[in-house]
Amino acid sequence: MFLQYLINGISIGSVYALIAIGYNMVYGILELLNFAHGDVYAVGCFVTLALIAAKQNIVVAILGGFVAGFLINLIVERFAYRPVRYSGRVTPTISAVGIAYIMRNVILLVWGPETFAFEIGIKNTHVKVGNIVFGTLQIYILLIAIALMVLIQLLLKRTKQGQAVLAISQSIPTAALMGIPVNRVIAAVYGLGAGLGVLGGILFCAYYESIFLGIGFMLGTMKAWMSSIVGGIGSLKGAVIGALILGLTESFVSGYISTAYRDAFVWGFFIVFVLFKPRGLFPAQISEKV
């Protein structure tokens, strides 16, 4: 059973990682805790649900959700975050919380508070190897999540746009003096973070075959935040490792103790962890600005 719980934990942890990466990308540049991240990508997930219900091709539906999340965050960054970018940390945080409530009420107004069935058209057959049972959907989710994480790392490390993001994360004024279009790059990071969140949310909903109003708060605000703190907020490597630790912890607690007490044990672990490692396992290296 250990291997079964290990596989389950890695699968769900990979989904958490996609969402935490988008969360951490914003913090890595602006040191802003984007509490609207979850509810923005939740709108994208519901757009995907609507397109699936309209009998659209599943690829079109997923792309539609991705684009919706991307465009919403572009608008949010332009009109809610950019005007208060240099107003300290409290004002942008309050703005982010306000956007989160607006997005949540948009979902409530359009789709209501019900829980909906969510399927992406992949037949979930089961393959048994010894005592371990693999769901084909579980395998697809894991492979897609890994591929997306590798892709985002390659984009950051091997492209000019990625180098621009890294430069801005070191110093916005210096990056601007070097000719980097700071506002455009930051907006793109916000949009890409939301798009990744939509994809992670879609995989999560497909895993549990349901979608509901609180998915943004539960996954984006709580799970991504916990993953980022454990791994080291501002560190993409930390976001991935923290998410995997969170997924494995949930899986083993559910398997060996009880699903009813899973969240209590996870939060207990989280509290004890931050007492000893308040900056996480891989804290981001912040350059001293002189």
With respect to residue 242, please indicate whether it lies within any of the assigned structural domains: no
With respect to residue 248, please indicate whether it lies within any of the assigned structural domains: no
With respect to residue 176, please indicate whether it lies within any of the assigned structural domains: yes
SS3 (DSSP) at 71: helix
With respect to residue 33, please indicate whether it lies within any of the assigned structural domains: yes
Q: Which two tokens stand for residue 63?
A: 């792309």
Q: How many domains does the chain have?
A: 1
Tell me the CA distances in angstroms from 24 to 48, 113, 123, 197, 198, one per residue in order. 24, 29, 33, 11, 15
| CB 26, CB 32: distance < 8 Å | yes
With respect to residue 244, please indicate whether it lies within any of the assigned structural domains: no
- Sign of the C-alpha dihedral, residues 151, 153, 158, 163? positive
Query: What's the pLDDT band for 228 if we cut at 50, 70, 90?
Result: confident
Tens digit of each residue's pLDDT (9 = 90 or more) over 116-173: 999 887 776 777 777 777 777 777 877 887 888 888 888 888 888 888 988 888 888 8
With respect to residue 119, please indicate whether it lies within any of the assigned structural domains: yes
Q: Which two tokens stand for residue 228?
A: 């980022």
Domain limits for position 84: 2-216
With respect to residue 262, please indicate whether it lies within any of the assigned structural domains: no
Tens digit of each residue's pLDDT (9 = 90 or more) over 52-104: 999 889 999 999 999 999 999 999 999 999 998 888 878 888 999 999 999 99
**Model-level pTM?**
0.88
| CB 48, CB 202: distance < 8 Å | yes
